[in-house]
Structure 1
Amino acid sequence: MSNRSSSGASPEGGERHLGWGLLLAYGALALPLAALNLPLYVFLPTFWASELGVGLTAVGLALLSARLLDVVTDPLIGEFSDRTRSPIGRRRPWILAGAPFLALGVWMLFRPYAGAGGLDLFLWAAVAYLGWTMVTLPYTAWGAELSPDYHERTRITTVREAFVILGVAVAASLPALLGGAVELGRILGWMAYAVLIILPLCLVVVMRFIPEPAAPSGGPPAFRREFRHLWANRPFRTLVLAFLLNSMANGLPATLFLLFATLKLEAGDATGWLLLVYFLAGVAAAPFWLQLSYRIGKHRAWIASILWACCVFATVPLLGPGDVAWFFVICALSGASLGADLALPAAMQADVVDVDRTLSGRQRTGFFFAVWSMATKLSMALAVGIAFPVLGAVGFDPAGPNEPGALWALTLLYAVVPIPIKLAAAWLVRGFALDAQEHAAVRARLVTQGTTP
């Protein structure tokens, strides 16, 4: 496993631009991970609630409970990843160890045995989430360490998140390729086979070709001091809270998409194509958000994407049964903000880690991305953990048909509730002070302190 860059750029960021070969090799692993992400958040809850008959409330509580375990595992794995010393680096061992847990959990969730119930959903979701954490936390921390440059980090995360959107688009296209109105169980079965073949291949590419910076020296401090430095990092506090709110706002329509498209709009065979249009629009718009972030800063570009998404989504309650063509337009326009939502906050998070290094004197990328991951998972868990029980309480039937009141509750949760939550996120991040100029000052302080990698 090589620790040298084939691109001509050092892993410590000695050159500003990393080669495209290295960026593409690094981003490749995001494709199968993202192809798993869509069914885990969009297809899986509806599959277990409707086709397996577990029920909306039981599914919501099982997935929320499994996610709450991440409150313990995420910071532990992030910290241990930072502290790991091995012949193959800090990040590689955790990724390799986590992949089997992820594969096993996904297989049992996507291809459950006959009679599986809520307890089975909780158990295998917990296994899959543990594997997901062990793979994705070191992987994203690794990317943040490939370059110290403010704009180069945006480039790295944009390439990675382009693979994310591509992977999700591939997963979204599967229902259409299988012939439209196909049982979710069959779709998830095919996804399990495809991803578990592609995932090992992409792991080999990342393990072989991506350089890993040398581990910094210095002993590990106590966990209490870790969290004290974390709380003292004001840009991080602002960013993680804004990200939590925005991710929860995104999680509600993601969780409820299938129910809204099939039972409110009666989209039928078009659901797969609607998802595909949404994610392809995200891929197409990603270069625009990247260039905009160069001109006005990452946080301002992110705010612009949030406001755009809110304006577009405000039109969704006007739709009724059969308005599929208009929903295609809305999916394309709202999908345009996806690239910014994925790439810009992650790039800002990498910059925030540098602020922490001026406070703690340590490079704790894994620990910071663990807290970031915990916020992501908590937001998605809250989305399904709140939305499904609320729908169950108003008498909503995921198998249909439903009364107008139940469908209106679905519309409110899908399209109306996310808007004020996203606006709150934009309001929080409006004063984010860590722009390119301030980040350059932070890097200068790190050089003075002698804590640059």
Structure 2
Amino acid sequence: MIATQQSLTRATVARYAVGSLGTGGFATLPGLVLVYYLTDSLGVAAIAAGLVVTVAKVWDVIIDPVIGARSDRMLAARGSRRPMMVLGAVALPVFFLLTFAVPAGTAAVPAAVWVFVAFLLTATAFSLFQVPYIALPAELASGYDERTRLLTWRVVVLTFAILLFGAGGPALRALGGGNDFAGYFLMALVAGVVIGGGMLVSAFVAPRQLPADTLPPRKGVLTTLRTNYAAGIGALRDSQPFRALLLAFLLQGLATGMMLAGANYVATWVLHSEDAVTFLFIALIGPALVVTPLWGVVARRIGKERGFRLASMLFGVAALSMVLLIWAPGAWVYLPVAVAGAAYAGMQSLPMAMLPDVISHDARRNGPGRAGTFGGMWTAGETTGMALGATVLTIVLALTGYIARSASAAAAAGAGQPAEAVAGIVLSFSVIPAAIIAASLVPLARYRLRKGDVDDVV
């Protein structure tokens, strides 16, 4: 469907934005600490740790299109996407806590299996919320600029969540007093409750019952797995702007996911301070909180797609400059990280504001009722990028000779990493992400939807 609401209330904007406290937290904290938890606390080999995270994320890619299509079916049958979102918000904190509750002393293989199963269930619960959440802007707001406003404030909360969980997660872990089990358990307990709470509040922004004349027709609503996947493929086939936007966003998720997963390693083995990860996130998100609304101004002046391209180029240059850490590690790195943070705000807010434009454009051309399907494919693409980022990092670590240790073995050995592994960490935080960002500009150049096309649809 296309939004019938012509002007957004502050309450709607605020309640929708609060959901990003949950989505930002879940996207940040596992990406930041999960691989590190596996390699440096549970003693799982780097390549195996990457496999655990990647396979769990592949499951997400499999189920997201199904959840999207079922969300459309729920909307057609019941007039609301809310029940699915509430279920995901309630289930996620339980499974998130279990992910970081591996008993101390568990051998590497059963520990990896434990984390894999628990994280897979956590990711499933997250998708139940995230997929319909992504579909809502096309139903809550009409018009090119109204959606920019809605998504801008969502990204303000998202950037705050990245700071809160990126800096606060390791700080909570440190309260374990050197006991890894206690530290990670406390971190997961507090973070899980905050993530689930933000998601639950935002679930109620979904209308409880839309008017019958605004609902998509029940006839032809998707009911089988085959038709669920066919709908997702159809969305890609029918919408050229969606294909271009999704591929650009997927590639950028790969780059940022790689840097996110590498932040702990940079802090520990390049800057030689585990506490430095907190300062990295402060440097990243502090500027983003200030700059995010300015990207909305940029979008109104030059268009979302041009603003998105500008933000991407700025991020790529900042990332590339950090290759100097190989030769001169030091506090200077916080400056390019701050520039990357300002650019990252635009790389999040602008494509998210472009997605509901794409959905409405498709609804006008091909008929309403596919917002959830678009949301499912978008979430699958985003998940794929973030998961592959962690995977590429672990491959680089394995190729450069990174030595995985359990917490007790590391304490006993007191040794560092080979110089080649340290160089691999830096490359994974600089040159490789910058190259991926450059590649994302190719599909972005093929995005042809403009403000006139969108407002003409409305």
Normalised by the size of structure 1, how large is the TM-score?
Answer: 0.88
Q: Is the CA contact (8 Å cut-off) linking 1:266 and 1:321 kept in structure 2?
A: no
Aligned partner of 1:104 in structure 2 is 94
Instruction: Select 1:74's aligned residue among 47, 60, 64.
Output: 64
Cα pair distance change 1:178/1:121, threshold 3 Å: closer
Structure 1 stretch displaced more, 356-365 or 367-376: 356-365
Cα pair distance change 1:205/1:408, threshold 3 Å: closer
Do structure 1's residue 113 and structure 2's residue 121 form an aligned pair?
no
Give the number of equivalent residue pairs: 432
Aligned partner of 1:363 in structure 2 is 369
Cα pair distance change 1:182/1:165, threshold 3 Å: farther
Cα pair distance change 1:209/1:78, threshold 3 Å: closer
Instruction: Select 2:15's aligned residue among 25, 31, 43.
Output: 25
Q: Is the CA contact (8 Å cut-off) linking 1:297 and 1:435 kept in structure 2?
A: yes
**In structure 2, what is the Cα distance between the partners aligned to 1:209 and 1:251?**
29
Aligned partner of 1:4 in structure 2 is none
Q: Is the CA contact (8 Å cut-off) linking 2:325 and 2:426 kept in structure 1?
A: no
**In structure 2, what is the Cα distance between the partners aligned to 1:368 and 1:103?**
26
Shift of residue 282 of structure 1? Answer: 1.3
Give, as a single letter, the amino acid of the residue that structure 2 aligns with 1:336.
A
Cα pair distance change 1:235/1:86, threshold 3 Å: closer
Correspondences of 1:48-447 after superposition (within 5 Å)? 48-85=38-75, 89-114=79-104, 115=106, 116-174=110-168, 175-176=170-171, 185-199=181-195, 201-203=197-199, 205-208=201-204, 211=207, 213-214=210-211, 215-220=215-220, 223=227, 224=230, 227-320=233-326, 323-398=329-404, 401-443=416-458
Shift of residue 427 of structure 1? Answer: 2.5
**In structure 1, what is the Cα distance between the partners aligned to 2:251 and 2:403?**
28
**In structure 2, what is the Cα distance between the partners aligned to 1:267 and 1:322?**
15
Long gaps (5+) in structure 2: 406-414
Q: Is the CA contact (8 Å cut-off) linking 2:326 and 2:426 kept in structure 1?
A: no
Q: Is the CA contact (8 Å cut-off) linking 1:251 and 1:383 kept in structure 2?
A: yes
**In structure 2, what is the Cα distance between the partners aligned to 1:398 and 1:336?**
34
Aligned residues: CA RMSD: 2.5
Give, as a single letter, the amino acid of the residue that structure 2 aligns with 1:281.
P
Cα pair distance change 1:71/1:274, threshold 3 Å: closer
Structure 1 stretch displaced more, 346-355 or 84-93: 84-93
Q: Which structure has the higher relative contact order (CA within 8 Å, separation 6+)?
A: 2
Cα pair distance change 1:225/1:385, threshold 3 Å: closer
**In structure 1, what is the Cα distance between the partners aligned to 2:161 and 2:232?**
35
Cα pair distance change 1:271/1:14, threshold 3 Å: closer
Long gaps (5+) in structure 1: 1-9, 444-453
Cα pair distance change 1:238/1:14, threshold 3 Å: same
**In structure 1, what is the Cα distance between the partners aligned to 2:143 and 2:180?**
44
Aligned residue for 1:339, secondary structure, equals helix
Aligned partner of 1:14 in structure 2 is 6
1:233-290 Cα shifts (integer Å, max 9, x gaps): 1111111111111111111111111102220222442221221221122111101111
Give, as a single letter, the amino acid of the residue that structure 1 aligns with 2:431.
V
Cα pair distance change 1:322/1:361, threshold 3 Å: same
